[in-house]
Amino acid sequence: MVINRLFVLGLVLGALASAVPAIGQETARPTADQIKFFEAKIRPVLADKCYKCHSGESGKISGGLALDTRAGLLTGGDSGPAIEAGKPGDSLIMEAIRYDTDGFQMPPPPSGGKLDTSVIADFENWIGMGAPDPRDGEAFVPDSGAGDEAKNWWSFQPVKPVSPPQPENGSWPKSELDRFVLHKLESRGLEPVSDADPLTLLRRVTFDLTGLPPDPARAQKFAADWAAASGDSRRDEMYAAVVDELLASPQFGERWGRYWMDVARYSESSGKDVNILFPLAWRYRDYIIDAFNADMPYDQFIREQVAGDLLPTANDVEKSRQLIATGFLAIGPKSLNEQNPKQFVVDLADEQIDTVTQSVMGLTVACARCHDHKFDPISQTSYTAFAGIFLSTDTKYGTGGAVAGRNAGSLIELPADANTSFLPGLSKTQLEQKQKQLTRLETELRDLIAERTRARRNGDEEGDTFNLVRITTQVSELKNEMKSYGPDGVAIPQAMGVLDKPRSTATGNSFRQRARGGGARRNSGFVSITDSPLFIRGEVDRPGDRVPRGIPELFEGIVSPKIPRTSSGRKELAEWMTDPAHPLTSRVMVNRVWHWLFGAGIVTSVDNFGNSGKEPTHPELLDWLATRFVDNGWSTKSLVREIVLSRTYRLSSQYSEQQYLADPENELQWRHSPRRLDAEAIRDSMLTASGQLDLNRPAASLIGQAGDGPLGGPRRATISEDKVIKSNSVVRSVYLATARNAEPEFLAAFDFPDAAMVQGARQSTNVPGQTLFLLNSDFAAKQAQALAERVVGKMYAVPRSTGRTPARRSTGNYLRNQPAAVPQLDLEKIADQVTELYWIALGRPPGKEEISAARKLLVRYRKDPMTGWTSVARGLIASAEFRSLD
């Protein structure tokens, strides 16, 4: 029966739901005769006439009313409780089945019409006796989402063409961007502080664009040229030349690629209950870095990641790149040990929906999985339409699976002519050895299965379960590994990514029909392009009506495309998101860039542009930048260049009490907010200062070289957690192996992001433990020693017979290990050497007091100069200034 009113009485459904237990307690326990009456007279009618539209089994909860549980009847739907126990005259269900009110007649005429008089009398008697009902189960809580009024939120409105305002102080702005900022400040009675000095500005822009400190010689020359320059225009030209050089450097892509890796929740393992490695995740990492270096238009960048496999290509190199780009959808966390295959694929699709919509549009669409979105105009039906797109997508994450090969994943084979494989091939002997190993394991597995069968016949239900699981897992992993090589041992180029599932050829199209197939993936019920059922409460064992794949009509001026029956719809989704008229895509990316350059976005909730997020501090500036971004061909480098050349970006971090009291969070940009460097920049700076940094891109990563298997597992090729955590590599931090729940310890100490979710804004802490880590870690000790030797090592280093510098664990040990003649401290050179040390470590010369303090420390170690110099170097790299950016 459909019980619905033109007016809505269900606005307090949450309260009604919570009241159900109390109602149940007030109703006396039904007698045996009452239960017999219900089972004979009431339940058959409900099942025959009502469940089709009002039950979890059918998937329909029309009017929010579920009639297949006692709690559902008592709670009711949109119009309130369906029954009042003991009061048939006050019960809505009686009004409906009596046909007392036009438009409120149940069952409706198309479903059989009015019930017989005797049946209506049975319902009246049943309610009069207190509505005895032995059925269990929860009440269905109808959706109470935000509704269409949520579309009035600012971010759902079209991007508006904006003209820069005219501030009162027309001489201050260097760009149109500055006019927006200054106008806002003036409206609040504020003014910007002074410009940053040249060394501060150079250090800031070099770190922001490359993640590395400026070269000391370059910094000294820049400061000297700045001082000698006549007029601001010449200084502007000098600064612009530096910016262009930084944008063109390969380090730009490494820095800005890491930003996107945060958003894309990049990691090289599955995480969750069993942490299985993703040995080919590094291909996607390199794709991101190369895309930023090539200034790939952002709209193309998004289309390739969401639907690269469905886009046309000109050659195999381009095809390979686009397939690798779809690794965006494959590298997320996965519960590979999930025993329910339906649950696994539905959870996988949900994670992909969450990632795509948050990263590109700043919307938390996945919040509508179980109910209508509470804040944004996204219904559960709209979510289900999105879900069909990703349930029609075959995700190739490429692992041997979890225990016994559960939820194993394959990989995408790349074009052979694309020259993308790094794996060394196998010799004929190696190939034969692996094949023999596989044959041996498969024989052991057959024997174990036979032995377990015999044991069960004898009443032993357990058998040798441990070895059965162990060998099954090893067979799965070895088979998966062998897929990476051809019959001649040549490595097959492969990648993580996604493809469309095949078209369905089945005549039946129900979820339950499709779920009867064999095999783990087939048992999921989603083996071909399909539409998703609306899962009641998001529960996979409660599938309802199927919802056609589609994109909801959320925004004015942008039409949602129709999805072809033969396609997943990812291509249409990607094109819709990158439509120039889309109000969110350009705004979200522009805001991310602003956040990465200033430490806070114009919209501070960078991953949430919905109704529960923040409003922009400068809405006109945001729209102006978004328009410029699209008009300039979606060029990220052009956007970055425009922002860093502005006078707003070039302000000092000077404190002003008056301005601070008016705007303590610096939302209006009256100064440049000082901030701590992120983990990668701190580590890379230390390696740069010590002269140890290797700027070459490594082949794959430690995990890529280890191969498939569990992190820290017993297999011959997997890598231990300790090797990941305590990596001593000197490559840039972006190339370090990072597994979920096992990041390099240095990065973890400085707020490395959780790769379980989209994270466009990292947490940034400044706690004593970080300084203690820098003062006590082996990594910091090695870099401090190398930094000291870089400055003064030629003078004080004492050659050993091994050709290596002796370990200096303490002054006493060091002296005992040295030859009798130890070089003495050269007091006349201290000032020059301390100055060089400061230029390398901090990008500036030391003050007189700093030279004096260093001298005092060095004199204490005059008989052991290198220990003294290492202490000075360590103090610099452990300082707050070293890890901060003004």
The verdict on 34 and 103 lying in the same domain is yes
- Measured between alpha carbons, how far is 135 from 55 in angstroms, rounded to an integer? 13
The verdict on 566 and 439 lying in the same domain is no
Q: What is the pLDDT of residue 631?
A: 97
The token duo for 230 is 């006549």
Residue 756 located in a structural domain: no
Give every CB contact of residue 346 below 8 A, 6+ residues apart in sequence. 387, 391, 535, 540
Residue 39 located in a structural domain: yes
The verdict on 478 and 376 lying in the same domain is no
Strand partners for 739: 742
Q: What is the pLDDT of residue 728?
A: 87
The verdict on 517 and 572 lying in the same domain is yes
Give every CB contact of residue 404 below 8 A, 6+ residues apart in sequence. 469, 472, 473, 476
Residue 525 located in a structural domain: yes
The verdict on 23 and 131 lying in the same domain is yes
- Are 428 and 409 in contact by the 8 Å Cβ rule? The answer is no
Q: Which helix (H) or strand (E) holds 620?
A: helix 619-631
- Are 179 and 186 in contact by the 8 Å Cβ rule? The answer is no
- Are 160 and 625 in contact by the 8 Å Cβ rule? The answer is no
The residue among 592, 619, 760, 599 whose CA lies nearest residue 672 is 599
| Distance (Å) of CA 637 to CA 130, 613, 633 | 72, 27, 11
Q: Coil, helix or strand for 764?
A: coil
The verdict on 506 and 533 lying in the same domain is yes
- Are 277 and 707 in contact by the 8 Å Cβ rule? The answer is yes
Q: What is the pLDDT of residue 517?
A: 32
The verdict on 434 and 525 lying in the same domain is no
172: Cα separation from own chain's centroid = 40
Q: Coil, helix or strand for 499?
A: strand
Domain boundary among 142, 164, 196: 142
Residue 636 located in a structural domain: no
Could you report how far apart the first and last alpha carbons of the chain are, in Å? Answer: 67
Domain boundary among 580, 601, 623: 580
Residue 362 located in a structural domain: yes
pTM beyond 0.85:
no
The verdict on 41 and 97 lying in the same domain is yes
The verdict on 472 and 527 lying in the same domain is no
Q: Coil, helix or strand for 55?
A: strand
Residue 217 located in a structural domain: no
**Domain carrying residue 109:** 13-142
Residue 811 located in a structural domain: yes
Q: What is the pLDDT of residue 299?
A: 98
Amino acid (1-letter code) at residue 257: G
- Measured between alpha carbons, how far is 129 from 87 in angstroms, rounded to an integer? 9
- Measured between alpha carbons, how far is 749 from 883 in angstroms, rounded to an integer? 13
Residue 838 located in a structural domain: yes
Residue 589: CA count within 13 A, CB half-sphere? 26
Q: What is the pLDDT of residue 748?
A: 94
The verdict on 367 and 450 lying in the same domain is no
Walking along the chain (886 residues) 10 residues at a time, the average pLDDT comes out as 34 31 48 84 86 68 76 76 87 87 75 85 90 76 68 94 95 97 97 97 98 96 93 93 98 98 96 90 97 98 98 95 97 94 95 97 94 92 96 94 84 84 77 87 85 78 73 81 82 93 61 37 74 91 92 87 95 97 97 98 96 95 98 98 98 95 96 96 97 94 87 68 91 96 93 92 89 90 94 62 40 42 74 95 95 93 89 94 94
In the block, tokens 């969401």 appear at: 306
Q: Where are the alpha helices (DSSP H) in 483-618?
A: 511-514, 570-577, 585-598
The verdict on 512 and 450 lying in the same domain is no
The verdict on 439 and 571 lying in the same domain is no
| Distance (Å) of CA 110 to CA 1, 114, 502 | 11, 10, 38
Domain count, the chain: 4
Domain boundary among 548, 580, 612: 580
